[in-house]
Amino acid sequence: MEYTNLGRTGLSVSSLCLGTMNFGPETSEADSHAIMDRAHEHGINFFDTANVYGWQKGEGVTEQIIGRWFASGGGRREKTVVATKLYGSMGDWPNDEKLSALNIRRAAEASLTRLQTDHIDLYQMHHVDRDTPWDEIWEAFSVLRQQGKVIYFGSSNFAGWHIAQAQEAARNRHFVGLVSEQSIYNLMTRWVELEVLPAAKHYGLGVIPWSPLQGGLLGGVLRKQREGGASRSANERSAALLEKHRDAIEAYEKLCADLGEDPANVGLAWLLHQDGVTAPIIGPRTAAQLDGSLRAAELTLDAEVLARLDELFPAPGPNGSKPAPEAYAW
């Protein structure tokens, strides 16, 4: 496993991040623990979760599963860089969500309890809160850092200007601010290349792509359909995207077959070739799926393959592969 620094920090994280959203709803606790053990065996030290995962309001099911795994010992906690998130509703009362100082304090304490740890390595805002001033957010976060309960802070689903706004507010307080941004990013969804990636690079944020295979559409969906295998892309939205991009996806799967590589690994490897990307999030439901993802970390795509992928899935804007404003202007 290769390791890299998370943004401008000295923190070393694996080039693949273990996503845990399936733990609980899709994957049993025993299997979830086995997947995390297997991740450590392969050298994956970066795990991502959120307080809302498990999808039972207020329960934090996934964090609890991870916490019980940490509590089983064997250096599991010490070997893991654990990232969790807050923002989503954890209750039915007005202050049980978003980024008020009150909710930040309560949410952090609750996550620490569920994770059975004394600190969170990377605490991420799951969404921008347009109603809470940045001074309030950074003050609340600075208290957590001073208390030793959180080490680093990150964002998720931020626009480029949100990153700039957050960092300038942090700078005014002489605070470290954000060190990472977690965005949807894959061959089919490349909007972050316009302004989020340039902003992240400017401010020294590592980029952690979520949905790196566009919900399975880049994971060999057409081959699986032909083989009669189950597909994660059965919902209405994914089905519509599949029909819209069928020709490109078919050509993509043919290119992967010609390379002798699994489409999922090519999609992940493409992300690892993008400037500023720290670690795509993989979300295995089984240990076998985790094992299958490891090839991506060692797969090198040459210039010809990268150019062909750009042809199949062009960057947004008429001028392609350029940041804003050149992507859509002169």
203 is catalytic: no
Identify the residue whose tokens are 């000295």. Answer: 10
**Which residues share a beta bridge with 82?**
47
Exposed e or buried b per residue across 273-289, where buried means at least 16 C-beta atoms within 10 angstroms of its C-beta: ebebbbbbbbbbbebeb
- Strand, helix or coil for residue 128: coil
- Strand, helix or coil for residue 19: strand
Between CA 253 and CA 235 the distance in angstroms is 21
Q: Active site residue: 53, 87, 152, 203, which one?
A: 53
* CB atoms closer than 10 angstroms to residue 238: 17
CA dihedral angle for residue 287, residue 290, residue 292, residue 295, rounded to 10 degrees: -140
Output helix, strand, coil percentages for the chain, rounded to the nearest 5. 40, 15, 40
Cβ proximity of 169 and 144 under 8 Å: no
Between CA 56 and CA 60 the distance in angstroms is 7
Provide CB contacts within 8 A for 262, sequence distance 6+. 219, 220, 256, 292, 295
Which residue pairs, CB below 8 angstroms and at least 24 apart, start in 107-110? Answer: 107/51, 108/144, 108/149, 108/150, 110/51, 110/60
Between CA 126 and CA 88 the distance in angstroms is 7
Q: Which residues are catalytic?
A: 53
